[in-house]
Each structure stands twice: as C-alpha cells, then as structure tokens.
A and B are shown apart, each in its own frame.
Chain A
Amino acid sequence: MRRLTMALFLALSGIASGSGPAEPEGFWTGPTNAPVPQTLSGAKVIHTQALAALLKGKTPGVVIVDVSNGPRRPDNLPASSVWLPVAHPAIPGAIWIPGAGLGDPPASVEHYFRARLAQATGHDLARPLVVYCHEKCWLSWNGAKRALQYGYRQVYWFPDGIEGWRRAGMPTSVVASEP
C-alpha cells in the first residue's frame, strides 16, 4: 500500500512538474493526443536541432518513419462525394505509415510496418531509425517501442513532432500514406 501511494505520488508529481507521465509497461492505449513521457526505455530521445544535425551528418541511411494518423475515406462514402484530403507535410525522406503507432493496430498494418522497416533498413537492425508523429502524441512513442521490439538497436524517438520541426523552420515535403 505504501509503495502504491509512493508510486502514485511520484506519478502525480511528475505530471505537476511538467516532466510528463511515467512510461506505461506495454503500448499506450489511452487517448492519442495527451502528454507523453520524457523517455522511452531502449530508445534515444532526439529533438529538432539534433535530428537536423543527424540527418545532415555523416550517419548513413537514417530511416525516418511518420506514424501520424491520416484521414481515411469512409468505406460507404458515395462516389459523388469530393474526397480531397490536404497534402501531408513530412520530414523530407520520411515513410508515412498511419496506424503503425496505435496501441493495438490491425494485424495487416503491423505486418506492413514490420516488412517495410525491414525493406527500408536493408534488413539491418543496426540502422538508425527515427519515429515521429505530432507533438503531445502517443503514436510515435508506440511506434518507436514497436520498432524496438522488432530488434532495432538504434531507435530515435522524436517527440517534437512535425509541429516542432516546422516551428524551427525546417523543410518538409509532401508524402503519400502507405500501404
């Protein structure tokens, strides 16, 4: 009981001091847009300037994955409806796989994510991998954790998201979602 109280106290004081919630044990299944932890065990947390430097630097073959949600055309939307989602800005070179950061993604999405990462990294688990979505968004935390579980050893979690990237004046390019 005492330990529980202590844990609760630590968790609450963590939120109050702005350091974010504690890391959940598994994947996060709560609301997507909510404060995120400051850390992800096993991954490196990277921020905008450091990421820009990493991408500009000599590290070869950094793979960037955007796991933010995209609007999905409703299955039964009449053909006469104009479906024209806005262009999705991404960090140049990123692969966009919506759903890969869900707490419990559909099996098809998870298979795709795993296979696409293998392909993009040339089946090299040592290749650096950057996972991001939006700021205050759990999808990238989950997505990076999933990549760690696949065995990738250099996973970077970029919690600033596309908002932080753009705010710093970094370039973006339009990307289409996969699969």
Chain B
Amino acid sequence: MGLRTPVGLRPALAAAILFAAAHAAWAEDQDDQDRLARWKQLRTSLFPGRQVGDADGIISVEAPARALDAALVPVDLRISGNRPVRSVYLVIDDNPAPLAAHIIFGPKADPRELKLRVRVNAYTNIHAIAETPDGQLHAATRFVKAAGGCSAPAGPDDEAALADIGRMKLRLVGEFNPGKPVQAQLMIRHPNFNGMQMNQITRYFTPARFIRTIDASYEGGQVFHLDADISLSTDPVITFGFIPSGKGQMKVVAQDSSNTTFDRSFDIPGTPAG
C-alpha cells in the first residue's frame, strides 16, 4: 500500500522522473563535452603543431574502470607491433600535472607491453599516445573512475617512506630464453612525493620529491628511457619487455627530482623465482 501512488499523481510523477532523467543525461553530455575540450587543450599544449590520430590498432591502454585505490591505479600499455613505435606518452587528462610518463624504447626493448602504476585525481580519461619513428602520433583512451590519489599520503609517515630510498628489485616474469623476448618487473623504493600530500602530523605539505628518469640497459644496449612526473605511484613498479641475446647484466639508473641517482645491476636470468 505504502508505495501505491494515487492515479492522478502518476503523470506528474512520470513527468518528474523524465525531467530528472533528461537532466542527468544533460549533465553527462556536459561532462563528455568537458572531457573533449580538456583533451583538445592537452593535445595542443603537449604536442604543439602536431596531429594526434586515432589508435589505428597500433596502441591500446588497459586500466580498471573503477580503481580500488586512486593512488595506485595499474595501467597497462600495449603495442600491437603492426607499426614500429619509438616512444609512448602516458597522459592522465584531469591530473594537474597530466603528463605522467614518456617512455622511449631502445634497441633491446620488446615494446609490446609495459605496465606501471599511477595516481589519479578525478574521474578521468587516460590517454596512451604512441609515436612512430616518423613522428606520427596515435592515441588510445580509457576512462577511469578514481578520486583523490594526488593528495593521498604516501604512507603513515614521511620518514618511514624515505627509509631504503632507491632500493631496487628486478625479477623476470616468464621464462628466460636467449634471443626471445621476456618481461621483467622492476621495483624501486621511493616515496615519490608529489608535493600535494599533507603530512598528517605537521599539517604542512611534504615537498615534492619524485623519480624523474629511469634508464634500463642490457649489456650496454638501451632497453628504455623513461621521463616521469609527479603522477607515478609511491614505490614505482614498472613491467617491461626486453630481448636478451644471452646471459648478461641489466643496469638500471634512476634519478629523482633532488638529483639523487640510484643504480643497480642485475644478473640475468639470475636466481629463479627471486
């Protein structure tokens, strides 16, 4: 009985519901328009004077539609291989520093898959833009719902986050076969303070300190060079592909915004399941 509506009120109620639905749709259209306008602004700011085409099956980007933790959103960049790709830009449209990373592949790279973890500040589009050797740009996009990742604290306290800074680990994901591509997962201990996180005790903003570049090389040949900004997550984890000619050494050099350099060499294949 409680839910029954007097007959005379039904058309009014239906009209009200329709009205609300129309407004919701309108608001969504507004959001879509805002997103398109934002992407246009980013395209012209980041790639002045250059055309940015569709993905064209060259690149795709995967990310969870609704991220569990906005400070740790996994992003998976995939290159199909139907065209050679020189570098990939990762753009998180609504982050205040939207260019999260630029990865340039070296001759030892297998660029087909690269994974990393980023901070996301809002419901936002993520764009992955592949650059071909002739300088053409192709963008793939994905919409992610997450909020507040940029101001989420790096950890319970800043000092603990700075302990062990720069410590690295590397492990192979898959089987090592000389001459065959293999994936490796690199972990770097670093708070990656983005300058927008408030210390929970002092109430001051922790100054920005984040990894700006990572260079990985195998037996002297470049695998990748990565330029990063403040959007990489705390303790960056990067999974990338490379082609080992045989047993050898992977050298990783990272530099942060305080100009501190961290480096380490890893024996490949190293000890299994390490």
Contact = CB atoms under 8 A, between A and B. Distances in A.
Interface of A (DSSP majority class): loop
B27 A84 contact: no
Nearest to A72: B196
Given A76-B207, A166-B27, A82 B195 contact: no
Contacts of A89: 34
Contacts of B207: 74-76
Contact of B212 (A71, A78, A82, A85): A78
A84 B196 contact: no
A137 to B, nearest CB: 13
Contacts of B150: 71
Interface string B224-248: 0000011000000000000000000
Contact of B96 (A71, A76, A169): A71
Contacts of A81: 97, 229-230
A161 B232 CA distance: 31
A3 interface: no
Interface residue tally on A, bucketed by range:
20 to 34
Interface in B26-60: 26-27, 30, 34, 37-38, 41-42, 45-46
Given A71-B150, A76-B257, A167-B27, A82 B196 contact: no
B158 to A, nearest CB: 14
B94 interface: yes
15 contacts: A71-B196, A73-B195, A74-B207, A74-B230, A77-B195, A77-B208, A78-B212, A81-B230, A82-B46, A82-B99, A84-B42, A86-B93, A86-B94, A166-B27, A167-B24
